[in-house]
Structure 1
């Protein structure tokens, strides 16, 4: 069956209280039970947690964890990844129980981005109640959302993800300037065995200290997204990109900065694909409209100041 979906993420932070406020009061997730000392968890559905946030001396995404069908598929994937030369650390029974899975192993992609793969996921009958009033998050067979990583060795990383079971959805090269000599930046948006447009994506750039570009969560309605945008503003969370709609996955949403420095995309109403019959695309721009990035705003403001200075 291949890789099913993104199951959970693990984050290290020196800003535990800031993360708790961000997750509950801004994003609107629900606190879960702590599986270990100095670990806080947050849920968005009937899984015991989707976010694992652990106390540390530095801030970074430790792991994006992906589910496979069963123990046999997990063993096959382990063999494939070992054959690609990546180091593997097998999880023990206690570690698996803390994660709410039957078995897992940890590894990394060729750029060093942390990954876990697991089987035997857990669900419960605890009702999701958002402390911020979010009507719900879209998960189910499509998993918790997606993760986007940076990789300077783009082709090697792209080949790795294809070899382990992800498939291409959209393979663009975006150009962020008007310079005709701009070579652009390679991206690979890749789907798992579900209808989400991409469960993982990689971008051709150096790996940031936070070890992540962004994570994405899908809310049930555009109203949920808009209210979250208001909470971002009222809580003075830095906006990374304004509300807009993407070309490739058609998601309506925005980006904001987490306490650990990477972004989280909050969206709704995306395109749902047929993973078995999808023909890869290569779009020329990331957004149909909106999504004005913070760096673009800064450049526009700088240019305006220069123009005003020249006319003074």
Structure 2
């Protein structure tokens, strides 16, 4: 049995800033099938898809961006241990106040930035409201010990962020991919194949390339793609199956310059500490081809 432990349990939440809050409300609810839920900030939009208080929050702002990516740790003792690791690595860490933690619906948290300038939060003790989640458009989402899903961030260089997430936060490198000027790396911290991905060599119009959510059935994925087509939401990459995490998914255009991957059947890595690293020669076994929209064709 492995004695190593990742510093991070899972990706807990993503907090976005957007000048298109109403579009996000429609997209998250009517297309992705998330459950809108009240939150401490009445001007922001909160969304659930499991028993956590929220997984996604979008705050109104003049410019689109990432307010924070939140990673859950076990408890307050573990949080203090991770803060010590961050400070030894020379990272400037700010402890959130009790009032700020309450506004995030967590018991305690700290904030800092990764080497690419991405705002991060480590937190413990999500404050659950025990109200049953209702997602009538989707049978259910796959979270549990694997958390939110995954996020792929655009960076200028891979090496600094890989060293930080591996050496300081305890992530495991799962695989890499290099084609022309584009390089990608994927890291895990729990049985989900990857919780984070990084891409270098792509335009950085938005720091997030995409976020991924995993549904419980393949029918959930097909019906979500149909909702995109029915409601005029651009499908950027059609249904396909990835070579690294074996997920069947499609990619749709979210408000602002980012995408959402909606998938099913992702690979579970049951012993994350002993999973070897590897390179892939292509991103998909099949599919994930660019999907023309009327705007593209016109």
Instruction: Verify same fold: TM over 0.5.
Output: yes
The answer to whether structure 1 residue 214 and structure 2 residue 207 are counterparts is no
Q: Structure 1's 207 and 123: CA in aligned 2 closer, same or farther, altered over 3 A? A: farther
The match for 2:278 among 278, 281, 286 is 281
C-alpha contact 1:144 1:217 (8 A) present in aligned 2: yes
Map 1:11-90 → 2, pairs under 5 A: 11-90=16-95
Shift of 1:81: 2.1
The answer to whether structure 1 residue 145 and structure 2 residue 149 are counterparts is yes
Shift of 1:206: 5.6
Higher helix share: 1
Cα deviations by residue, 1:241-271 (Å, 9 ceiling, x for unpaired): 1110000000001011111221110000111
SS in 1 for 2:30: helix
Higher strand share: 2
The answer to whether structure 1 residue 117 and structure 2 residue 122 are counterparts is yes
The match for 1:230 among 219, 226, 233 is 226
Cα deviations by residue, 1:120-139 (Å, 9 ceiling, x for unpaired): 123342112124x2101011
For 1:170, the equivalent position in structure 2 comes to 175
C-alpha contact 2:155 2:207 (8 A) present in aligned 1: no
Structure 1: distance between partners of 2:256 and 2:96: 26
C-alpha contact 1:86 1:110 (8 A) present in aligned 2: no
C-alpha contact 2:237 2:288 (8 A) present in aligned 1: yes
Question: Where has structure 1 moved over 4 Å in runs of 4 or more?
Answer: none
RMSD: 1.9
Cα deviations by residue, 1:161-208 (Å, 9 ceiling, x for unpaired): 1012101111222x2xxxxxx3x422111111x210011111113672
C-alpha contact 1:8 1:50 (8 A) present in aligned 2: yes
TM-score normalised to the size of structure 1? 0.88
Structure 1: distance between partners of 2:107 and 2:203: 31
The answer to whether structure 1 residue 187 and structure 2 residue 184 are counterparts is yes
Structure 2: distance between partners of 1:162 and 1:46: 29
Cα deviations by residue, 1:79-107 (Å, 9 ceiling, x for unpaired): 22233333322211111112221111111
Structure 2: distance between partners of 1:39 and 1:201: 27
For 2:289, the equivalent position in structure 1 comes to 292
For 1:196, the equivalent position in structure 2 comes to 192
Structure 1: distance between partners of 2:228 and 2:128: 30
Structure 2: distance between partners of 1:122 and 1:139: 17
Moved more, 111-120 or 24-33: 111-120
Structure 2: distance between partners of 1:60 and 1:238: 20
SS in 2 for 1:41: strand
The match for 1:154 among 133, 158, 163 is 158
**Unmatched runs of 5 consecutive residues or more in structure 2:** none
SS in 1 for 2:99: helix
For 2:260, the equivalent position in structure 1 comes to 264
The answer to whether structure 1 residue 249 and structure 2 residue 282 are counterparts is no
For 1:95, the equivalent position in structure 2 comes to 100
State the structure with more CA Rg: 1
Shift of 1:59: 1.2
